[in-house]
């Protein structure tokens, strides 16, 4: 997480968010996602029969997702979105297996891929379709929504999405970072008092975290403007 965190935007940079701002979400969970896929694919024959009865498309979706994931990992986002050769793209997997665990994972990666090629409207639309029982992944989708709004200069909506992401996340590191991004958005809106209050809350609630460090630097920068 440390290398990825170094690429997160500092305070006041919400307007110029780059793909690195969002990619840490997908990268952080990439191993968990692929691990879940491998588990699904490698289940025993008895379980396979049950799976086929209960969720006929899940194994196919998991296999397809495990094949396209390396394209995403390599940064070949266009190919990951649309597919390459016999490899189905994330868009096809998400569309054809909507609602399944692998379909939802495909949707999250698809939204990240769209974001990475600056197709923010497409990314925003897909992020809003992501449905998962994992709170940190659900929070990642909300944070992705916030990042898209931020890049569209819609900072009020971005701040709201980041705050919702912080509430949803179970990981305290992510909670603090999402709140810091929300405060950055308030700073962009020139709502410095609100930004300052949120930065102060982050420092108090998440001492020693990356989000707290971001918040402290932001407070130093805006202290003379309050």
Whether 93 contacts 134, CB under 8 Å: no
Res 7 pLDDT > 80:
no
| Confidence at residue 56, expressed as pLDDT on a 0 to 100 scale | 66
pLDDT in tens, 76-129: 999 999 999 999 999 999 998 887 888 888 999 999 999 999 999 999 999 999
Res 6 pLDDT > 90:
no
Separation between Cα atoms, residue 217 and residue 90, nearest integer Å: 38
Q: Residues of 84-122 as b/e, b for ≥16 C-beta within 10 angstroms? A: eeebbbbbbbbeebeebbbbbbbbbbbbbbbbbeebbeb
Structure tokens at 122: 């497409």
Q: Quick one: DSSP state of residue 89?
A: P
Instruction: Band the pLDDT of 46: cuts 50, 70, 90.
Output: very low
Instruction: Band the pLDDT of 19: cuts 50, 70, 90.
Output: very low
pLDDT in tens, 50-88: 445 445 677 888 889 889 989 998 999 999 999 999 999
Res 163 pLDDT > 60:
yes
**Residues near 210 by beta carbon (within 8 Å), at least 6 away in sequence:** 5, 8, 173, 176, 177
pLDDT in tens, 173-216: 889 999 999 999 999 999 999 999 999 999 999 998 888 998 99
Structure tokens at 125: 């639309």
Q: Which CATH number fits domain 2-225: 3.40.50.300, 1.10.260.40, 3.60.15.10, 1.25.40.10?
A: 1.25.40.10
């Amino acid at each position: 997480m440390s290398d990825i965190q170094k690429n997160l935007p500092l305070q006041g940079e919400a307007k110029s968010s780059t793909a690195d701002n969002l990619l840490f979400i997908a990268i952080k969970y990439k191993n968990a996602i692929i691990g879940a896929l491998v588990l699904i694919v490698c289940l025993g024959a008895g379980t396979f029969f049950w799976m086929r009865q209960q969720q006929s498309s899940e194994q196919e979706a998991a296999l397809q997702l495990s094949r396209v994931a390396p394209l995403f990992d390599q940064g070949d986002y266009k190919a990951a979105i649309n597919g390459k050769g016999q490899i189905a793209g994330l868009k096809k997997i998400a569309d054809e297996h909507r609602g399944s665990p692998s379909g939802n994972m495909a949707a999250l990666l698809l939204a990240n891929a769209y974001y990475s090629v600056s197709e923010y409207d497409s990314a925003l639309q897909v992020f809003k379709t992501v449905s998962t029982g994992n709170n940190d992944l659900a929070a990642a989708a909300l944070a992705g929504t916030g990042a898209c709004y931020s890049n569209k200069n819609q900072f009020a909506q971005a701040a709201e999405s980041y705050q919702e992401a912080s509430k949803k996340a179970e990981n305290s590191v992510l909670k603090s970072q999402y709140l810091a991004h929300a405060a950055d958005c308030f700073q962009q809106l020139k709502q410095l008092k609100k930004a300052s209050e949120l930065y102060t809350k982050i420092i108090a609630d998440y001492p020693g975290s990356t989000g707290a460090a971001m918040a402290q630097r932001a407070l130093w920068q805006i202290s003379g403007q309050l």
